[in-house]
Amino acid sequence: MPINGSTAARTEPVEVPRGLAGVVVTETELGDVRGYEGFYHYRQYSAVELAQNRSFEDVWHLLFQGELPDAGRSAAFAARTAALRRLPEGVRDALPAIARACAPAGPLAGLRTALSLFGASKGFRPVYDLDEDRRRADALAASAVVPTLLTALHRLGQGLEPVEPRDDLSYAANYLYMLTGSEPDAARARAIEQYLVSTIDHGFNASTFTARVIASTGADVAACLAGAIGALSGPLHGGAPSRALDTLDAIGTRDRIDGWIRERVLAGERIMGFGHPVYRTEDPRSRMLRGIAREFGGPMVDFAVEVERQVEAILAELKPGRELHTNVEFYAGVVMELCGLPREMFTPTFASARVVGWSANVLEQARDSKIIRPAARYVGEAPPVPVPVPAPSAGGAVA
């Protein structure tokens, strides 16, 4: 008889793959990733086609409202979310202190604190106690304010004053404006918008699953999102775009590609920007971003394309039978660099898109009142045999 957990309906232990790979934990209507096909979608619409043809706000509407908007509803939703970009006075006043305290770790670390403060200042209540409209309103407010928080924290960390958001700019253009202080040209704003749309959601990755676990407890929206940000901060999840560019910098020139890559592959090191736990074909996000990078052109793009070609050839030679291609982080770093984003803002920029996907998952999870509570199999040293405790005597004393 097992000593840990319930004994009801237990027979043979179930073997669970490391990292819960492939384990289905719930059902969702938000989207799916088909790794063997190299395809993923949001509510049945190809995510790549949405990135190519729709605005960020339209896809936000799709995930929150369940449908793509027509022109009128698109404009209304964009105006509604733009009006939510400004910070409450108390949060704005606290940002300099948060930026100073989090300076060594960067804006993503500061965002966890700032978003929690924002939720408290707005009176966010547990999703368990709210109706659907109130949950959605909280999620909209939190998602809309994340770019404002991130860019303000970055600028304060650089000794610059934050830039107030503009209602007349799109989500992506406003993000670049608040980051740099200058209105971006249309090509760069659109390139960043396409990147943001392509990364809004992507199955039950670690941060999305974290958000849903917290939502299952009935916690407020800000708490769910802060937990997701914590998961994203890990280098195996959201930290690869800048590391992929660091790889290009370390290689340096074309004549060094083969030797540099072979040495690291033979040493068992991971090549950042290559391979994905789900895709067994080319990552469709990488393919799209490669096309965007090539539209900009230039020496860095040419070098990245050549590195990709040689790395894939070397991996096919040294690791036969494994499909290892560039993932979204490889060309995401190239595109963001071309659009003028500093490398320390690559992962925060990813978070500014993914917060919408996290929020949509929080809203979906909140409709189910069952807490997520899996079990673990104990594999440590056997505990001592329990000693029965005598029942109390009639007088109340233990014999």
d(CA 294, CA 263) in angstroms, rounded, equals 29
CATH class (in words) of the domain with range 44-184+203-231+346-366: mainly alpha
Indicate the pTM of the whole model.
0.88
Confidence check: pLDDT of 381 > 80: yes
pLDDT of residue 85: 98
Domain edges within the chain: 44-184+203-231+346-366, 240-338
Confidence check: pLDDT of 356 > 70: yes
> Closest by alpha carbon to 176, among 189, 186, 158, 194?
189
Q: For residue 4, what pLDDT band results from cuts at 50, 70 and 90?
A: very low
> Closest by alpha carbon to 323, among 338, 337, 339, 312?
312
C-alpha atoms less than 13 angstroms from C-alpha of 176 in its C-beta half-sphere: 24
Confidence check: pLDDT of 395 > 60: no
d(CA 228, CA 337) in angstroms, rounded, equals 25
Q: For residue 8, what pLDDT band results from cuts at 50, 70 and 90?
A: very low
- Tokens standing for residue 156: 């304060």
- Tokens standing for residue 357: 């996907």
d(CA 338, CA 296) in angstroms, rounded, equals 8
pLDDT of residue 277: 63
> Closest by alpha carbon to 213, among 278, 320, 127, 316?
127
Span 158-162, mean pLDDT? 96
C-beta of residue 283 within 8 angstroms of C-beta of residue 335: no
Span 82-100, mean pLDDT? 97
What CATH number is given for 240-338 in this structure? 1.10.230.10
List active site positions. 276, 329
φ, ψ dihedrals at 384, nearest 5°: -65, 155
DSSP character for 351? H
Name, in order, each residue with C-beta under 8 angstroms of 92's C-beta and a sequence gap of 6 or more. Answer: 152, 162
